[in-house]
Amino acid sequence: MIQLNEISKSFKIAKRSAGLRQAMKALFVREYSHVNALEGISFRITPGEIVGYIGPNGAGKSTTIKVMSGIMVPDSGACSIMGYTPWKDRVAYVRNIGVVFGQRSQLWWDVPVIDSFELLKDIYKISGTEYKANLELLTETLDLGALLHTPVRQLSLGQRMRCEIAASLLHGPRILFLDEPTIGLDAVSKLAVRQFIKDINKEKGVTVILTTHDMNDIEALADRILMIGKGRLLYDGGLEKFRGQFGEKTMDEAVVQMYREYQI
């Protein structure tokens, strides 16, 4: 279903040292450094999997998600998702996926949540009956009833995140990309979000790719983890096997040790 082959991406970053003199110099001579965000990432994911995608900050997790969701064009490598190349067939492809960026918002700030949902209905050309069924299901499972008619600016982070997730699933996507969906959430919201991800994976067979720094998310959800560091894939395998290598250690400790071993 998802297949990445040797995906690479580098960024050009303008650099200068601190201070006025350096700032003046930068007016005339710009110095750039290249950062290789991804260096030949390859993996495949089969339908119905929940994959946890982990790695330290700056490892390239978000970049991978952006490449897979058609937002960014990689420098080299091939990617085929449901038969599409995401960045080439962007408009046709994105109908089939849902994306949640935990640190961004897709809802219109000043209007009630339901207005944003109605707009998405038209944008994705969701039929009336499908929209109603999906909305009902999402409202029930994510407990949105009281939130739908509140302007987004007045929602708490946890409430908003539940609405964000619902917004990404209204069109019934086959694949769901979650980029740090539990960031900043309280325990109750976290559990609710996790439970929900499990449910839609089981009931609707949605394939889920999830990045997070919260190892409890991974333990609760993922059957398989992909670990990335400095743009390279370091581990790809079952969660149990990963845990087995580290005996009694907690997930967090295991991950830290893993990072240390690879010097990332």
Partner 1 sequence: MRAYISVGKLRFINGLQYRSAAFAGIATQFFWGFIIIMIYKAFFSQNDPLRMTSISLDQLVSYVWLQQAFITFIVLWFRDAEIFQLITTGNIAYELCRPCAIYEYWYVKLLATRLASALLRCFPILIAAFALPQPYRMENPPSFVSFALFAVTLCMGLLLLVSISMFIYISVFWTMSPVGSTLMIGAFGEFMAGLIIPVPLMPEWLQKIAYSLPFRWTADFPFRVYSGQIPAHDAAWGILVQLVWLVVLVTLGKMLMNKALRQVVVQGG
Q: Which range in 104-112, 142-150, 194-202, 250-258 contacts partner 1 by CB under 8 A?
A: 104-112
Structure token digits, residue 202: 């089981």
Q: Which range in 23-31, 117-125, 131-139, 224-232 contacts partner 1 by CB under 8 A?
A: 117-125
239 binds partner 1 (CB under 8 A): no
Footprint on residues 216-235 left by partner 1 (CB under 8 A): none
Q: How many residues bind partner 1 (CB under 8 A)?
A: 32
105 binds partner 1 (CB under 8 A): yes
The binder of partner 1 chosen from 8, 39, 82, 124 (CB under 8 A): 124
∠88-49-96 over CA atoms, to 5°? 35
The binder of partner 1 chosen from 6, 115, 130, 236 (CB under 8 A): 115
CA 50 to chain centre: 12
Nearest residue (CB) to partner 1, 57 versus 263? 57
For the chain, the three-class secondary structure string (H helix, E strand, C coil) is CEEEEEEEEEEEEEECCCCHHHHHHHHHCCEEEEEEEEEEEEEEECCCCEEEEECCCCCCHHHHHHHHCCCCCCCEEEEEECCECCCCCHHHHHHHEEEEECCCCCCCCCCEHHHHHHHHHHHCCCCHHHHHHHHHHHHHHCCCCCCCCCEHHHCCHHHHHHHHHHHHHCCCCCEEEEECCCCCCCHHHHHHHHHHHHHHHHHHCCEEEEECCCHHHHHHHCCEEEEEECCEEEEEEEHHHHHHCCCCCCHHHHHHHHHHHCCC
The binder of partner 1 chosen from 4, 50, 94, 209 (CB under 8 A): 94
Nearest residue (CB) to partner 1, 117 versus 242? 117
119 binds partner 1 (CB under 8 A): yes
Nearest residue (CB) to partner 1, 123 versus 133? 123
- Which phi and psi (to 5°) does residue 57 adopt? -55, 135
111 binds partner 1 (CB under 8 A): yes
Q: How far apart are CA 163 and CA 117, in angstroms?
A: 9
The binder of partner 1 chosen from 20, 29, 103, 127 (CB under 8 A): 103
Please report how close the Cβ of residue 166 comes to partner 1 at its closest, in angstroms: 14
Please report how close the Cβ of residue 118 comes to partner 1 at its closest, in angstroms: 7
Q: Which range in 40-48, 87-95, 131-139, 223-231 contacts partner 1 by CB under 8 A?
A: 87-95
Please report how close the Cβ of residue 6 comes to partner 1 at its closest, in angstroms: 20
125 binds partner 1 (CB under 8 A): yes
Q: How far apart are CA 194 and CA 174, in angstroms?
A: 18
Positions touching partner 1 (CB under 8 A) are: 11, 57-58, 62, 66, 69-73, 90-92, 94-95, 97, 99, 101, 103-106, 108, 110-111, 115, 118-119, 122-125
